[in-house]
Amino acid sequence: MNEGIRPVRRIRRIIRAPSLIRNFQEHNEMNRFLDRSIRAVRWRTKGLLGIPRTIVVEIRWRLGDEIMALPIYGGLRKAYPDCRIAVLCNYPDLLEGNPSVDAVNERVTPDHYLLLRSGPRTEVRIAHYARMAGIPIPEERPRLYLKDWSAPSVARYGGRFVAVAPGASWAIKRWPVERWRALCEIIEAHGMPVVELGREDETIGIRHSLMGQTTVREAACILHAARLLVCCDSGLMHLARAAGTPAVALFGPTNPSILMPGDDGLQALLSEEPCQGCWNSDQTVTAPGHCLRGRPTCLERITVDEVWARMQPWLA
């Protein structure tokens, strides 16, 4: 055997030893405990001395989850008006112009640290975020604070178009593509252009497609100009509402009352499956995107005519 290999194998056996792994985990836990203790002392000391303090909120997550957290920053500003609020996120465009946020993705030393990258399935998301932040549940809904909503595509399509977003993070959240095409044909037959948004791998295949061609900010501007968004439960659904545009959204495994309670601008169309909303209930679901019944989608029972009917209040 090559003599150079033996030391490497011995090192691997040592690294994999359960006792060392436990020691490493305990060491990390101790470091986290010390960090929390130091921040707590610094928070109290600065407060007593009247020194400005910094709250760091980390929410590096999916688009929709980051949008649902937007009201928390205003709530923190009300609770701690003299503190600097810094946010670590994946979608900084969402915070452009936000009056409650002082820094985005900057390296700062936190006096108080909040990790919001979590959400129990059965708890209303904004209530969970508020509980983690230690503030009352904000009354305002998520919104963007862009001062300039212009984008090249907005001028191209005007203000009478309908946006559609067929994509979703899980396959079981998606509506069959042939029904999307049939719906788009009906919309265009009534004299309204249809603009398709989302990722390139989820395309319907219509004439006006911006699939895979927009940033989050550009998509927000397009949605802001649209009369309506028709979509599945997705990040673009949340983005449309934050941009002030109504949405007709198709829901299968998720529950809109958990994600967006009391939103008058959301027309939620639920599948008629008896297990509807399974992910946000006590039903046993082994993994995200897994169907208890082994079906490819939850939305097969929703018809094109039902969706078209739900769109009418915003098209009149």
pTM over 0.75: yes
Q: What is the pLDDT of residue 56?
A: 97
- pLDDT digit string, tens, across residues 131-165: 999 999 999 999 999 999 998 878 787 778 999 99
Look up residue 1 and give its DSSP letter: -
Give one DSSP letter per residue of 179-232, joined into a string.
HHHHHHHHHHHTT--EEE-S-GGG----SEE-TT---HHHHHHHHHHSSEEEEE
Please give the Cα distance from 148 to 287 (Å, whole number): 41
- Copy the structure tokens of residue 316: 């009149």
Computed over every residue of the chain, the mean pLDDT equals 87
For residue 168, is pLDDT > 70? yes
* Domain parsing of the chain, residue ranges: 54-145, 152-315
Give, in degrees to the nearest 5, the angle at Cα 299 between 141 and 228: 40
Q: Using an 8 Å Cβ cutoff, are 86 and 54 in contact? A: yes
What is the rounded end-to-end Cα distance, in angstroms, of the chain? 81
Residue type, 58: E
- The yes or no reply on domain 54-145 and CATH 3.40.50 is yes
54-145 and 152-315 share one CATH topology? yes
Please give the Cα distance from 14 to 19 (Å, whole number): 9
Residue 56 three-state SS? strand
Of 258, 287, 299, 276, which Cα lies nearest the Cα of 124?
258
Strands 266-270 and 103-104: unpaired
Q: Using an 8 Å Cβ cutoff, are 273 and 151 in contact? A: no
CATH topology of domain 152-315: Rossmann fold (3.40.50)
Convert 102-132 to b/e letters by CB count within 10 Å (16 or more is b): bebeeeeebbbbbebbebebeebbbebbbeb
For residue 285, is pLDDT > 90? no
Residue 72: pLDDT band (50, 70, 90) is very high
- pLDDT digit string, tens, across residues 76-110: 999 999 999 999 999 999 999 999 999 999 999 99
More confident residue, 41 or 237: 237
